[in-house]
Amino acid sequence: MSENMANNDSNSRYNQRGVSSSKEEVHQVVDKLDRGCFPGAFCKVTEDYLTGNPDLCNVIHSDGAGTKSILAYLWYKETGDPNVFRGIAQDSIVMNLDDLACVGLWNQVVLSSTVNRNARNFPAEALASLIEGTEEFIQKLRDLGIQISSGGGETADVGDLTGTVAVDSCAVAIAPKDKIVDNAKIGPGLCIVGLSSFGQASYEENENSGIGSNGLTSARHEMLSPHYRENYPETFDPQTKEEYLYCGPFRMTDELHDSKLSVGQALLSPTRTYLPVVQTIMAEKGSSIQGLVHCSGGGQTKCMRFGTSVHHIKDNLFTPPPLFREIQKVSGTTDKEMHQVYNMGHRFEVYCQPDAVEEIISISKSFHIEAQVVGRTESSSKEDQRNHLTIKTDKVQLSYG
C-alpha cells in the first residue's frame, strides 16, 4: 500500500470516530479572530481588562481530559476502584497549565473545573474521587513551588449529553507583559530540545507511558477489544460504524508488550506536567530561549503553528515508547498519521540558542526526565514563506505543510 493510500485510510478511520487531529475547521474560524496583544504566542494573551494596568496582561485558557475520562470509566466499572479518577483530574489540569507554561506563566494562576456527568453511571464515590484528586494535585504543585489556587467549579448532571463523564478546567492569570514568552520569536538557527513524555520523573509516583491526553479516542478503540463495545454502549457514539468501535485485541488488564504496565495502566498514565522543569529552565536560561511548545493537539506537528517563516526539522526524535509502538502495530496507522496524532515520545519542546542546549538538557535530567536535541529550525523553503515541518526517522521522511 502506498503512503498516500495508507494515510487516507488512517484519516478515514480517525474521522469515522468523529474526531480531527488537525482541527482545520476550528482554525479556519478562530484564526480570523482577534489574536490578542501577542499574536504569535502559544495561548491568547489579552490586555489587562481585569485591573486596567497597561503593563499587565490577562490569559484565560480552557482544556480538559478529553475522552481519557472514558478509559477511567471503563477501569472503574471493571475494578470498582474510583481512585482512577484522580488521574483524570490531573489530566484536565495539566492540559491547561502546561499550555500556560508556553507563554511563561506558572505562578499566581487560578483554576476552575467543570464536570459534566451522567449521574446514573458516574455516582457519588467517583465524583468525590475526582474532586479530591483535583485538590490533591493542586497541593502537589504548590509543594513543587508552583503557585496555583483553586477557584472551585461546577458539576452538571447532563445525562442527555454524556453517557459517562467529561472533565474540563479553566485557568486564569494576570502577568507582566515583559514576562510573556512570545513564540513569534521562533526563527531560523535554533535548536529544538525535546523533553521526554515517558519514564518516571522525580515528582511522579509511577512510571509514565507518555500518552498524555491526546489521541485517546483512536487509541482506545484501536487497542481495546469488542468486549467493551458489547458491555459498555454508553462509551461510544451509536452513529459510529461497528468496524471502528473497540476493534483491538486487548482487555485493559492485559500486559503491554515491552512494558511493566498493563494496557489499561499505560492508556491511563496521568498526563505529565513539565512545570517544575520549565520554571527552572526559564530561571536559569531564559535569555537564550525563543519559544516553548506543548506538543498536545497535533502531536509532533503542533510546532508548525508557531514561529515566523520557519522550516522545523526534527531528525533526532526519541525512540517511540512501547504504547505508541503497539498502537501503530495493531491499527496499521501510518507513520505520518502517528506523528500528527500522538507526541511519540516527547511532549514539550524548548526552542533555544545552541549554547544553551547542554544546560537545558542537564536541568531536565535533574528531574529524571530525559531530554535531547530533537531537531533544529531553518528558513522556510516555501514560496510564500509559510512554516512547514520535516520529520526524519530511520524508516521514513515525512513532510507537513
Q: How confident is the model at residue 6 (pLDDT cuts 50, 70, 90)?
A: very low
Is 38 within 8 Å of 184 (Cβ atoms)? yes
Instruction: Reply yes or no on whether the pLDDT at 30 is more than 70.
Output: no
CATH number at residue 79: 3.30.1330.10
Q: Flag whether 167 is in a domain.
A: yes
Distances in Å between the Cα of 365 and the Cα atoms of 31, 151, 202 are: 37, 33, 9
Question: Using alpha carbons only, what angle is made at residue 7 by residues 256 and 317, rounded to the nearest 5 degrees?
Answer: 55
> Same domain for 191 and 169?
no
> Same domain for 333 and 376?
yes
Q: Flag whether 1 is in a domain.
A: no
Nearest to 220 by CA among 237, 199, 203: 237
Instruction: Reply yes or no on whether the pLDDT at 20 is more than 90.
Output: no
Is 108 within 8 Å of 50 (Cβ atoms)? no
Instruction: Reply yes or no on whether the pLDDT at 291 is more than 90.
Output: yes
Structurally, the chain folds into a number of domains equal to 2
Mean pLDDT, residues 344-368: 98
**H/E element holding 366?**
helix 357-366
Q: Flag whether 268 is in a domain.
A: yes
Q: How confident is the model at residue 212 (pLDDT cuts 50, 70, 90)?
A: very high
The DSSP symbol for 246 reads S
> Same domain for 145 and 211?
no
Strands 191-196 and 346-352 come out as antiparallel
Nearest to 92 by CA among 233, 216, 236: 216
- Residue 298: left if φ>0, alpha if ψ -120 to 50, beta else—which one? left
Q: Flag whether 111 is in a domain.
A: yes
> Same domain for 245 and 343?
yes
Cell of 139: 497541593
Boundary (domain end) residue, out of 129, 149, 179: 179
Instruction: Reply yes or no on whether the pLDDT at 23 is more than 60.
Output: no
Cell numbers 526534527: residue? 314
Cell of 267: 492508556
pLDDT in tens, 232-253: 999 999 999 999 999 999 999 9
The number of residues making up the chain comes to 401
Q: How far is CA 198 from the centre of its chain?
A: 13
> Same domain for 213 and 330?
yes
> Same domain for 220 and 306?
yes
> Same domain for 23 and 149?
no
Q: Which position has the higher pLDDT, 325 or 20?
A: 325
pLDDT at site 35 = 82
Instruction: State which residues form the domain around 150.
Output: 41-179
Nearest to 171 by CA among 97, 240, 105: 97
Instruction: Reply yes or no on whether the pLDDT at 214 is more than 70.
Output: yes
Boundary (domain end) residue, out of 152, 179, 206: 179
Backbone angles phi, psi at 345, to 5 degrees: 135, -20
Instruction: Quote the CA–CA distance of 367 and 364 in Å, as a whole number.
Output: 5
> Same domain for 172 and 190?
no
Instruction: Reply yes or no on whether the pLDDT at 103 is more than 70.
Output: yes
Boundary (domain end) residue, out of 151, 179, 207: 179
Residue 67 exposed, middle or buried by CB count within 10 Å (0-12, 13-18, 19+): buried
Distances in Å between the Cα of 88 and the Cα atoms of 93, 130, 169 are: 9, 7, 11
